[in-house]
Structure 1
Amino acid sequence: MASLVQDQHQAQQIAVGDSAQQLYAWRGAVDALDTWPADRRLYLSQSWRFGPKVAEEANKWLSLLPTSLRLAGNPNLASEITELAAPNAILCRTNAAAMGKVMAFLAGGARVALVGGGAAIKRLAEAAQDLKDGRRTSHPELFLFNSWGEVQDFAGEPSGRDLKPLVDLIDTHGVEEIIRAADSLSEERRADVIVSTAHKSKGREWDDVLIADDFPEPERDEDGEWKTVDDADAMLAYVSVTRARLRLDRGGLGWIDAYLS
């Protein structure tokens, strides 16, 4: 698609984007800006969405990426990094963790919206049920497994940590309860709280945002030193913290200060 636009040499071309928000490389997405032929490259570094405190938090994650971009916050917005008891939105790393939050709020009588709706988690729960019943599944997150037991075993290994929230969710609540919860979601405009994965939150904003605790801190090597944060994880964190306009509870990303110290 990008090459089709680039080949239109008779027209002026202006490409706008943020390479630090490339979240779908695992799906084969490429950073078109990186190879776009340009006479001039300019940074849109002034943000009007959030204030200086949120900008400072974003810059911590940008410092881990191969970019010289640093953000300046809106001086007229007094944003703050704080703990939030009742955020507008909660951002999770995985679909399963997001659904876990949804179910906890529903159990407390709250009206909950899930960005993107409940179809994705229902498909995942149904795929888990197939494996439990001895059937293979074509679901992209589970098709490599022959049984639910294999998923449980893999989730207990370091390389399978992304599946652990799903295993915990299924084993704790069961497939039927998860599907009922997905069918009980509210519209965003009627919800007391909005839950989203970090990926689906891209392009959105809320006044008060809480980062869920399923963003794992990097492992340490045998000498006790931090291992390098993957670019993909840093990009996801950067997108997550910049969804907040006024108040950000860093939650599961609070380890960044210790990592940078």
Structure 2
Amino acid sequence: MSWKTTPEQNAIIEWQGNQLVVNAFAGTGKTTTLVQFAQANPDSKMLYLAYNRAIRDEAEQKFPFNVECKTSHQLAWSHFGRHFRHRLTANLRITDVARKLNTRHWPLARLALTGLNAFLCSAEPEPGIIHLPAEDERHGLSADKILGAVQVLWYEVSRTESDFPITHDVYLKLFQLSGPNLASQWDTILFDEAQDANPVTSAFVLSQPCRVVLVGDRYQQIYRFRGADNALSSSRLEQADRLWLTTSFRFGPEVAQMANVLLAMSGEEMKVTGSGEGDEVVTHLPADVPHFSVLSRTVSGVIGAALSASLQERKVFWVGGIEGYKTEELEDLYWFSADMPERMQSSRLGQDYRDFEEYCAIAKATQDVEMNQAIRLLDEYFPLPQKLAIMRRQVVTHEKDAQVTVSTAHRSKGLEWDIVVLNEDFCDITDPLLSAEERQDETNLLYVAVTRARKTLVLNELMLCMKAGEEQKDCEQPATDDVENDGGDVVFPC
């Protein structure tokens, strides 16, 4: 079956120039457009720079022979990453940082770790004041003291002879600082999801002398909290050509209307057009649907949705795998809090903390989101081990076998489902106490969640009020007949 391109897509496919920025709303076929652009330029050797491995793997099945698909970390691995293989860890633990700094001053350890992570994601050549948290978040510590601690950590993680653990961002930073010449291998770089690019990646991409095409949706920028930046608005692109993709093939006019409510709140005058048919926006999950997805703002929301579904004997698929939601660590924390270490699967908690009281004290002192979230879950889902056992029995590893899919809104990026339920744990974006940046970040995340729906979008109370244009005071009491606003338990029809 032939696929007819839109005039907007044709303009991109036929583009000739040095730098191009494509602003693509959700579901507008940006990858398909890039594939056709590559097919229209068969003599050009291209690098498709993917945001993550899943996107890269999918892209490899779509792009023609003249395109290599890689992630930024994959580019850096052969040059630097392989030398640190034995030291890699997903996240640096605050206890490891404190030991290296030889301190029990937990706020200092947390601030040093925050500063290091900010530097690793930045374009700067060395740690500086710019990478430190705001002055009112420094617990009275001087900038020099915190920066000195950051420099100690950077020295340790960047040394090949050190045994201090490192994250993947360390070797990516080293790759950027080496000044790689990508133009020696490729004529054109296709930079996807550029709205959420780390400055470290943007720095070496935008410094290349070859052609660069950046594609993204600034309203799907959801990783600024990790140091990501919107490369689409980089000062290096002042002379770039700019084109739009505004026709969504994912959903129809009803879902598009909800997306446009959020776009308008962000000050965007352009609107997304839904070209699909038969979509709907509802307030209750339709009865007897064979499958639906629940998207949550928080990990606790995901676990609550999974528990609710599991207790109704529904099979549940976890986007990214249940292991990514740290349920085993949560159960260990339960036994640690009950002073029953013999039931713990890992001894890490006992090694890192004297007891549960110290864990709670450190969580409070450092304001660590994951630690405090775990403490809340122990209270909300007591007795936890029994409920987790039921939940795990209902897990399926293939989504086709599931009746319910659960995910955070962050993990849902790039995915889509026929029926999407918005959980009640999203931030109230109408709250006047939010800063401008917080409001934009949370609005973007809600926009991502809303635009995952193909056919049916089940609104939460916040989006229902947004749709109706009600005042915030009318939104304070959510309906309790279909959703419990406790940050997790979505109540589904039996």
AA matched with 2:261? K
Give distance in 1, aligned partners of 2:326 and 2:270: 35
Please state how far the C-alpha of 1:56 moved relative to its aligned partner. Answer: 0.9
1:103-134 CA-partner distances (Å, limit 9, x unpaired):
11111111111111211231551464376258
Secondary structure of the corresponding residue to residue 14 of structure 1: strand
Provide the secondary structure at the position in 2 that maps to 1:247. strand
Identity %: 27
The alpha-carbon deviation at position 164 of structure 1 amounts to 6.7
Once the two structures are TM-superposed, the CA of residue 99 in structure 1 deviates from its matched residue by: 1.0
| 2:254 corresponding residue in structure 1 | 53
Q: Look up the equivalent residue of 2:218 and give its one-letter code.
A: S
User: 1:219 Cα shift?
Assistant: 6.7
Counterpart of 2:467 in structure 1 is 257
More helix by share: 2
* CA deviation after TM superposition for structure 1 residue 168, in Å: 4.8
Partner of 2:334: 129
After superposition, where does 1:96-135 map in structure 2 within 5 Å? 96-119=300-323, 120-123=325-328, 125-126=330-331, 128-129=333-334, 132=337
Q: Describe the shift of the 1:236–1:67 C-alpha distance in structure 2 as closer, same or farther (beyond 3 A).
A: same
Alignment-derived partner of residue 202 in structure 1: 413
Q: Which moved more, 1:237-246 or 1:175-184?
A: 175-184
Task: Give the whole-Å Cα distance in 2 for the aligned partners of 1:169 and 1:68.
Answer: 45
> 1:112-168 deviations in whole A, cap 9, x for unaligned?
111112112315514643762586897xxxxxx83448979xx9xxxx9x9679725
Provide the aligned C-alpha RMSD in A: 3.4
C-alpha separation in 2, matches of 1:46 and 1:133: 55
Instruction: Give the aligned partner of residue 215 of structure 2.
Output: 16
- The 1:210/1:169 distance shift into structure 2, 3 A limit, reads farther
SS of equivalent to 1:15? strand
Matched, 1:236 2:445: yes
Structure 2: how far apart are the matches of 1:191 and 1:99? 16
Letter in 1 for 2:399: E
Consecutive unaligned residues of structure 2, counting only runs of 5 or more, are 1-200, 340-348, 472-494
Residues 58/84 of structure 1: CA separation in 2 closer, same or farther (3 Å cut): same
Question: After alignment, is 33-42 or 185-194 more displaced?
Answer: 33-42
| Residues 192 and 15 of structure 1: CA distance in aligned 2, closer, same or farther (over 3 Å) | same
Cα distance, 1:7–1:227 mapped onto 2, change above 3 Å:
closer
- May I ask how many residue pairs the two structures share in their alignment? 244
Task: Find 2:231's aligned residue among 14, 21, 32.
Answer: 32
Q: From 266, 270, 277, give the equivalent of 1:65.
A: 266
Q: Whole-Å Cα distance in 2 between the matches of residues 111 and 128 of structure 1?
A: 26
Q: Is the 8 A contact 2:427 2:442 kept in 1?
A: no
- Report the alpha carbon displacement of residue 220 of structure 1 after superposing the two structures with TM: 5.5
- Unaligned 5+ segments in structure 1 are 139-144
